[in-house]
Amino acid sequence: VLESQRKIQARDLLLQLDRSRRAPVSRQLEEQMRGAIRSGALVADEQLPSTRVLAEDLGVSRGVILRVYGQLAAEGYICLRQGAAPTVRAGGLDTRTLPPRNGGGIVYDLRPHLPDVASFPRQPWLRAVRESLAHARVADLGYSDPAGLWDLRVAVANYLSRTRGVTAHPAQTLITAGSTHSLSLLSRVLARRGDRRMAFENPSHRILRAVASMGGQTVVRAAIDESGVRPDTIDQAESLVVSPAHQFPTGVVLAPQRRTALVDWAQQAEALILEDDYSAEFRYDGVPTGALQSLAPDHVVYLGSTGKTFAPALRLGWMVLPEALMDEVSRELACNMLHVSGLDQLAFARFLQCGDFDRHLRRMRQVYGARRSFITGLLAELLPGHEVRGIAGGLHIVLGMPSHSTAASVRLEAQALGIGIDSIDQHSFADSAGPAGLVIGYGALPEPTLEQALGKLVEVIRRYEEMHQG
């Protein structure tokens, strides 16, 4: 037990149940506890009362408390462990387990979110910066339109309809600082108009779920299988975040019949689909799938980013919105004054217009395709008993593991040796669902370094298996 841990009594939580309110008791408790963690009244590592104690103190059934704790754990606010008291996580996000952004202590970076920034096209980018600045109008250097520079919105809308089949009008195409920023804006806008239940695939990126929750959303889960998300499992959500082209982290693609079923769900439930078209540009087997957005532009918000395709450091992405959301989202962007630098937007518009972005993508597709073949070949040879999962696309593969706890132990051991890696359980809701595995990114490292890193990882896996045999 950490010294800083303080055991919270039920009365310390100052929970108040108003039985005259229409909101169910569990919803009231959930809101108050979430509020206490967000405001800092409950801080990281504090122990919460057991379900039995809290249920007795509040005069409610234990099932109610189980539901409340389950939901808060799914949103990342609290941590549940078998046989131990629940504890509070930092600010709803367990910052102790978030990957260090700068890769502190990591020698071999196999984390799935990293593209090969060493291949950043410095010379073409410098040319775009120089030329765009030389041609910039004086007005371009003043305050820019919060929705993005018009020239860039036109260039992005053209790029999306050309490469992803998105129905994109420049007036409905907004520039943001990337998909995380777009999701944060949408979460706040939807919450303000009363749409507060956002479904995420289980598993799905834990940081995105935390961002939605910080934006006022109650995060609920949707199950997935080898055909992608199952709309029949979405429990009363007003929106759903989904990555149809390449599900993160499992690497499956949303099957054609599921696409139709998902659109039917959105239309019937009058819900919104947030399509995270994450790393869709990278498909190495020649079977690209178009964006879901084109099937129902009024029910889908399309989210895109240069974070994987170019460089995360640029912080530049986009959203294509249904017309009905335009005003509210533009107002939210205008009010938070957090737009991408107009100078970077000018440079990226030029980079797109002169074909340099397409050239860069073509080159990177070859690089990543070769790396993927290399790593799948190597793993088949070194670990023949472990399945490699995920389509030939994106920047990571999933290496099958016998259980989520094995995968988590291997990940921690690998990290202790300086190998940065993810596992499926990190991105699952509280009860890890579906097949277990390690999520191995191959984007950031060239083949010789990948070979060294995988060699060390395989040693960790073999050692673990030997120790736990029988």
Ligand X SMILES: Cc1ncc(COP(=O)(O)O)c(C=O)c1O
- List residues binding ligand X (CB under 6 A): 113, 178-180, 205, 243, 248, 276, 278, 305, 307, 312, 317
Q: How far is the CB of 180 from ligand X (least distance, A)?
A: 3
Residue 34, phi then psi, degrees to nearest 5? -60, -40
**Minimum separation from the CB atom of position 379 to ligand X (A):** 22
User: CB 461 → ligand X: shortest distance, Å?
Assistant: 24
CA of 166: how far to CAs of 116, 152, 154, 158, 354, in Å? 26, 16, 13, 9, 21
Amino acid at 380: A
- SS3 of 130, please? helix
Minimum distance from CB of 114 to ligand X (Å)? Answer: 8
Q: Of 91 and 312, which CB lies nearer to ligand X in the complex structure?
A: 312
Rounded distance between C-alpha atoms, residue 317 and residue 306, angstroms = 6
Question: Which of 149-158's residues contact partners 24+ apart within 8 Å by CB, and which partners?
Answer: 149/175, 149/342, 149/345, 149/346, 149/349, 151/346, 151/349, 152/345, 152/346, 152/348, 152/349, 152/352, 155/349, 155/352, 155/353, 156/304, 156/318, 156/352, 157/320
Rounded to a whole number of angstroms, the minimum distance from the CB of residue 145 to ligand X is 21
Coil vs helix vs strand at 313? helix
Strand 317-320 versus strand 173-176 pairing type: antiparallel
CA distance 250 to 225: 9
Query: Whose Cβ is closer to ligand X: residue 248's or residue 357's?
Result: 248
Identity of the residue, 51 or 289, whose beta carbon is nearer to ligand X in the bound complex: 289
Three-state DSSP at 135 gives helix
Closer of 34 and 209 to ligand X (Cβ): 209
Quote the least distance from Cβ 99 to ligand X, whole Å: 9
CB of 424 to ligand X, least distance (A): 13
The distance of closest approach from Cβ of residue 52 to ligand X in the complex, given in angstroms and rounded to an integer, is: 38
Distant-in-sequence, close-in-space partners of 294: CB < 8 Å, separation ≥ 6: 165, 166, 167
- Could you tell me how far CA 225 lies from the centroid of its own chain? 18
Q: Which is nearer to ligand X, 125 or 248 (CB)?
A: 248
Question: At closest approach, how far in Å is the CB of 65 from ligand X?
Answer: 32
User: For residues 80 and 152, which CB has a smaller minimum distance to ligand X in the complex?
Assistant: 152
Output 108 or 318, the one with its CB closest to ligand X: 318
Closest approach of Cβ 33 to ligand X, in Å?
A: 28
Instruction: Tell me whether residue 172 or residue 184 sits nearer to ligand X (CB atom).
Output: 184
Phi-psi region of 466 (alpha: psi -120 to 50; beta: other; left: phi over 0): alpha
- Tell me the two tokens of residue 164: 């992803």
Contact 274, 302 (CB under 8 A): no
Q: Which residue, 180 or 217, has its beta carbon nearer to ligand X?
A: 180
How far is it, in rounded angstroms, from Cα 48 to Cα 61? 17
Helical spans, DSSP H, in 200-246: 206-214
Q: Which is nearer to ligand X, 80 or 424 (CB)?
A: 424
Q: Please spell the DSSP secondary structure of 240-269, one letter per residue.
A: EEE-SSS-TTT-----HHHHHHHHHHHHHH
Helices (H), strands (E): how many in the chain? 13, 16
